[in-house]
Structures are given as structure tokens and as C-alpha cells.
Chains A and B, each alone.
Chain A
Amino acid sequence: MGHSDFYNILGYLVGLRYPSQAVANAFRHVLGGFLSPPPSPSVSPYDIHEAPHQGVYRIMKDGAILGDYASLSELVSRTEWAILKKAFEAMPYLGLHAGAVTRSGRCLLLPGDPGAGKTSLVLGLLLRGWGLLSDEAAPIHPDTSEVHPFPRTLCIKDGCLGKFHGVDRNAVLDRPGSVLDVGGVSCVASRAFDMLPLDRSAPVGAIVFPSYTRGAPASLVQIPRAKGLGLLMRHALNRRAFPDRALSILGKLADRARCFELHSGSLEAALDLLHDIN
């Protein structure tokens, strides 16, 4: 029990105490973008126990058993999800189901349903030199409508990482420690990329709603801001936490940003279209 870390996820503080270096390395890879100095006052950590001969990891807090997991990948993925969910429920931000990247201090938002290609576009743009805010959930400040960093690891399905090598001009994915396989999912560490400090935020310059259809020609079409606002509301994760304000928060965001729909069946063609958007 010699290793422990603290993570600050949008103000939600979590401590993890690890049983081994291997477990510590896995969590630091996945949650490394949120690593934080020990808080004062301290928070009660989650204790992870390992019984390799039984093939079980156990997670406990304050003496209570929270879960048993049969593998390291299951432990990491389930625990990460539970922590992020709690952090999101507690956060004072409006969350958007969106990827978010920055260039020249401005954010490109990529809201979309699962399968729309958010993570692929975010990773492709990062490999082309954009900075990371989030690949999945973008926290919007309710007063400024700016986007804060949410640098969870980027999860790419097994076997799909190869399609990024064509755009990985600086061989980021080949660097030691960039990618960790967690149960068949390639987790690309957020620290492999430029990242806005956790206490900063970025104004949104453009909002692109992507959709992916295999083999489809790439097109980027500007849409009315009102349509963009309607779509943004659809992708708000916790709009019921802001019943009177969600529309005005996202409205302020849409007032200032250009809105587009991106249709594509080719990652490289889509990335080319987004190159000058900000």
C-alpha cells in the first residue's frame, strides 16, 4: 500500500491507494490528466486491494467493499467510469456530450452521439497539433459559456488505432507510455498532447456536429445558429441541473460561434476540412 494519488476532476477530489506499481501505472495513465497535489484538508481515499491468486481486485472506501473485479482492465474501466460519473454529477458546469480541442486559444467543439466520430476526430486533430480539452464530455462554465478541460484518456476500440498512423506525423502514438491497452481498448494518455491548464478555459470559435458514414464523401456545411443551438441542447448531459439556464448558457455560446455539420467517411478528409475552421 505504498502508492497513492489524488485527482481533481472539475473540483471533485478523489484519492486512490494502490496495491502495486502496476495498478498505479494503469490509473495514472487513464486519469493522469487530472492528477493533483494532495488536497488540504485531505479526502478519504479509495483503497484498492489485490489478490492475484484469486484473480480479484477489490475496491473499498472507509472499510466498506464497493466492488470486486476479475481483471485489471475491468477494475480500471469501471472505477474510472464511476469516478467520472460522480464528478460530473457534482460539478457546477453544464456538460456537453462533445469532443473539444483548441488552437490559438479558441475551442472547436464537436458535439455528437456515440458513433458520430468524436473521439476519432479529436485524436486526429491532436495528432495534427491541436490542444486537448476533452474527447467526450465538455464542461461549459455557466457564466462565461467557455469550455474547461476534461482530459480523460482517449479510448480507441481494439484494432482501430492503426488508422491514425497516417496522420501521426510526429509519431506520438509510438512514444513509450502514450498508449495502454486496457481490456482490448487502446487508451491514449491525455498527457501525450498539449493541454490547457485545468484552471483555464477557452471561448468557442466553431461548433461542428459530425456524423460518420463509411465511404461517404466529406462535406462541411454551415448551418443556422438556431439549428446549432437546438442540437447543442440535445447534447447537454445535465441540462435538468440547469432548468432555467441551460438554454441561455448554450445560447450565449451559439451567439458567438459558427455552427457546421460535418459528414464524412474518411478521417483524413474530415481533418482537412477542419484544418482552417478556427
Chain B
Amino acid sequence: MFLIQKNTLLTHEIEGDLVLYDPDYDVVHTLNVTSRFIWERCDGDHTSAQIATDLTDCYAVPLDVARRDVDNILNRLQDLDLIRQETPA
């Protein structure tokens, strides 16, 4: 399963954080560095496992911790309707 960002969101980067505005719900979300790292890999080319591996490569995080954090954050992003899952064709 690949993950894809919702394409109607507006974004603004500020001091390393990312602020998202969802005009569909008129709601603002703020992503910290880790959430932003994960969010930016929701590009249709990465699975959650690949994102967890990228996270361990970039930060000194054990793989099991990275997997847990990535899954938690992806679930949250899905709950907020900021990303969707897509099965590869």
C-alpha cells in the first residue's frame, strides 16, 4: 500500500515545521519535524515500511521504534483526512 497526500491542502514552511491548511474542513494542522518527515514521503512512491527505514537512516532511531512512530503518525494523518492509501496498479 502506498500513501498519498491529499492534493487540495495548502502548506507553509516555518522554522522547519510545516503548517497545513485544509480548505475542505477549514482547519489548520501543524506538523513537527518528525511528522513532516513522514508526511513528505507520502508521495505515492513510499510504503509505511519504507518510510520507517528512511527514518532510521536519517535519525538514530531503532527500526522497531521507527515503525511504531510511523504507523501512529500515518494513522493520525489518515484520521485527519490528510493522506489516503492507494493500492499499486
Chain A interface residues (CB < 8 Å from chain B):
224-227, 229-230, 233-234, 239-240, 243-244, 246-248, 251, 254-255
Contacts and interface: CB of A to CB of B under 8 A. Distances in A.
A170 B23 CA distance: 48
A247 B21 CA distance: 7
B72 interface: no
Interface residues of B, number: 14
Interface of B: 10-12, 14-15, 17-19, 21, 23, 26, 28-30
Contacts of A226: 14-15, 17-19, 30
A234 B29 CA distance: 11
A64 B16 CA distance: 57
A227 B10 contact: no
Given A229-B12, A230-B30, A244-B10, A224 B21 contact: no
Given A246-B21, A247-B19, A251-B19, A229 B26 contact: no
Contacts of B18: 226
B19 A234 contact: no
A224 to B, nearest CB: 6
A247 B8 CA distance: 13
- The 4 A-B residue pairs with the shortest CB-CB distance, nearest first, are A226-B17, A251-B12, A233-B28, A247-B21
